[in-house]
Every structure is written in structure tokens, then in C-alpha cells.
Chains A and B, each alone.
Chain A
Amino acid sequence: NAGVTQTPKFQVLKTGQSMTLQCAQDMNHEYMSWYRQDPGMGLRLIHYSVGAGITDQGEVPNGYNVSRSTTEDFPLRLLSAAPSQTSVYFCASSRRGRSYNEQFFGPGTRLTVL
């Protein structure tokens, strides 16, 4: 099993550009999430999904869109990138039915917005 995969590993954007961060998991997990990690701020939840066709906002959703058409994939879209979105982005998945919600993280995408 590859676990949780993310592409690209690194990305540089100019202000106003759009892009999609890809995330896929092969563990048949129902739950998937996107976090951003900034120095001194810890991990903050952007959006999450509890199953195909179902998404909801996390702590910091502004400027980001998500969709979940399949169990495996959960892309994160930046519609108009801003320097404040410079961060490391992590996708995670977890199994439904476990109240602990233990997360399996991908390797991350390091995004710089100029």
C-alpha cells in the first residue's frame, strides 16, 4: 500500500494564480482532511470529508475549495493564490467508525506564493 500520496511535493505560484493540490489514499478510508502547517501555529484544519460527496469546512477554509467524487481522491483547490497561503499542506485520511479518528498523513506539499 502506498498510503496517502500528495502531489506536487513543491510548488511556487504568483499571486492570483490558481492550482490544485492532489491527494489520494489506497486504504479505503472514509474520512479525509486537509491541514496547513505554519511556524508557531501548529496544524490547522482547512476542509474535511466524511465520505464521497460530503465535505465540510474546518478552522481556516477561506480561499480554498474541495470536492470528493471518489473515496480515494480529495483535491484541494486554491482559486486565487495569496502570499498568506504560503504554507506546508498535509492531506490525511482516517477510518470511519473509530472514535479516536487516528490520522494517516501524506508527505506534504510545500507551497510558496510570491
Chain B
Amino acid sequence: TQLLEQSPQFLSIQEGENLTVYCNSSSVFSSLQWYRQEPGEGPVLLVTVVTGGEVKKLKRLTFQFGDARKDSSLHITAAQPGDTGLYLCAGNSGGSNYKLTFGKGTLLTVNP
């Protein structure tokens, strides 16, 4: 069974601070996705990383896929209250395997 461990589980910071959250596994994934979920809503896809070592930027958010494709990180620069939410990573083992493996998420609160 493939598992994705996310850390930290909870993070509360002040507006303007930088932060990094992690998504780790002992398994190799062909791709990894990051979602953000706001209270009372469904998760929304932020980015998909595919190549080992890949770095993608989405405004103040930087996503990195580990060289061995077993881990990923999300770095937020100058966090804002609008970044508050649950950040989920999900891995796909590729091929004909439809199923995604989700981590349990990091709940981020950015205080004004």
C-alpha cells in the first residue's frame, strides 16, 4: 500500500511569513498533485508535477518534486490570509492504475 505522509499537520503563521509543507513517501510516483481545500468546499487542483527535480511556480507558491519522485514540497512566500486552507498532496503511480493516493493534509492558518 502506498502512503503519503504530510507534515506538519497544522501550521499557524502571521501574514507575511514564509512557510514550507512537505509530502513524503517510500514509494515512487509517476506524478504528484497538490490541492487546496477551503472550509465547506471541495479540493481544487493547484499543480501537477511529473518530472523528478521539477519546480513549478504559481505566483507566491513554489512546488518541487523530489529527484527520486518520492517526495514533494510546497513553499509559500509572504503568506496572506487568503492562503488559509487545507493543502493536500496526491500521488499517481501511473500506467493503468486509476487510483490516487491522498495524504491527510496540512491545515494552514494565516493570521492578519
Chain A interface residues toward B at CB < 8 A: 4, 31, 40-45, 48, 50, 58, 90, 92, 99-108
Chain B interface residues toward A at CB < 8 A: 30-31, 33, 35, 40-45, 48, 50, 88, 90, 92, 94-95, 98-100, 102-105
A102 contacts B105, C-beta separation under 8 Å: no
A45 contacts B31, C-beta separation under 8 Å: no
Which of chain A's residues have a CB closer than 8 A to the CB of B44? 105
- Compute how far the CA of A52 lies from the CA of B24 in the bound complex, rounded to whole angstroms: 35
For the complex of A and B, 8 pairs with smallest distance between CB atoms:
A105-B42, A42-B104, A43-B102, A100-B31, A100-B48, A42-B102, A105-B43, A101-B92
12 CB-based A-B contacts, threshold 8 Å: A31-B98, A42-B105, A43-B90, A99-B30, A99-B31, A99-B94, A100-B31, A103-B100, A104-B45, A106-B42, A107-B40, A108-B40
Which of chain A's residues have a CB closer than 8 A to the CB of B48? 100, 102
A90 contacts B42, C-beta separation under 8 Å: yes
A43 contacts B98, C-beta separation under 8 Å: no
Residue of A nearest to B1 (CB): A59
